[in-house]
Amino acid sequence: MIDLELREKELEEIRQVITASIRNRVEKVGLSGAVVALSGGIDSSLVLKLTAEALGKERVLALLMPEMGVTPDRDLQDARNLVAMLGVPHREIPINDAVDWFAQFLPGSPEEGAFRMALANVKPRIRMILNYFFANLDGRLVVGTSNKTELLLGYGTKYGDMAADIYPIGDLYKTQVWQLAEFVGIPTGIVRKAPTAGLWVGQTDEAELGYTYAQIDRVLYALVDLELSIRETAALLGVPVKAVEEIFHRVQTSEHKRKIPTITRISRMCLDKDWRYPVERF
Partner 1 sequence: MRTIRVALAQLVAPLGHIRGNLETILEAYDRAEEGGADLVVTPELALLGFGAGDIYFDKVQQNLEALERIRETSRTRRAWIAVGFVEQDAHGFLYNAVALIGNGKIQGIHRKVQLVNYRLFDEKRYFRRGSRFDVFPTPFGRVGFLICEDAWFSEPARILAFRGAELLVVPSASPYDRGKPEIWEDFLRVRVLDNQLPVVFVNMAGIQDGVAYWGGSMAFSARGERIFQAPFLEPHLEVVSVDLGESRLLRRRDIRLREITPALVEDYLRAFREFSGEPHD
Choice from 16, 77, 136, 188 touching partner 1 (CB under 8 A): 16
Chosen residue from 1, 2, 13, 189 binding partner 1 by CB under 8 A: 13
Q: Is 259 in the site for partner 1 (CB under 8 A)?
A: no
Q: Indicate whether 20 belongs to the interface with partner 1 (CB under 8 A).
A: yes
Pick between residue 20 and residue 207 the one whose CB is nearest to partner 1.
20
Which of 1, 2, 28, 138: binder of partner 1 (CB under 8 A)? 28
Tell me which of 166, 237, 243, 244 binds partner 1, using CB under 8 A: 166
Q: What is the 3-state secondary structure (H, E, C) of the chain?
A: CCCCCCCHHHHHHHHHHHHHHHHHHHHHHCCCEEEEECCCCHHHHHHHHHHHHHHCHHHEEEEECCCCCCCCHHHHHHHHHHHHHHCCCEEECCCHHHHHHHHCCCCCCCCCHHHHHHHHHHHHHHHHHHHHHHHHHCCEEEECCCCHHHHHHCCCCCCCCCCCCECCCCCCCHHHHHHHHHHHCCCHHHHHCCCCCCCCCCCCHHHHHCCCHHHHHHHHHHHHHCCCCHHHHHHHHCCCHHHHHHHHHHHHHCHHHHCCCCCCCCCCCCCCCCCCCCCCCC
* The binder of partner 1 chosen from 1, 2, 17, 68 (CB under 8 A): 17
Examine residue 6 and tell whether it contacts partner 1 (CB under 8 A): yes
Q: Does 229 bind partner 1 (CB under 8 A)?
A: no
Instruction: Please give the size of the binding site for partner 1, defined by CB under 8 A.
Output: 19
Out of 109, 202, 227, 277, name the contact with partner 1 by CB under 8 A.
277
Residues that bind partner 1 (CB under 8 A): 3, 6, 10, 13, 16-17, 20-21, 24, 28, 166, 275-282
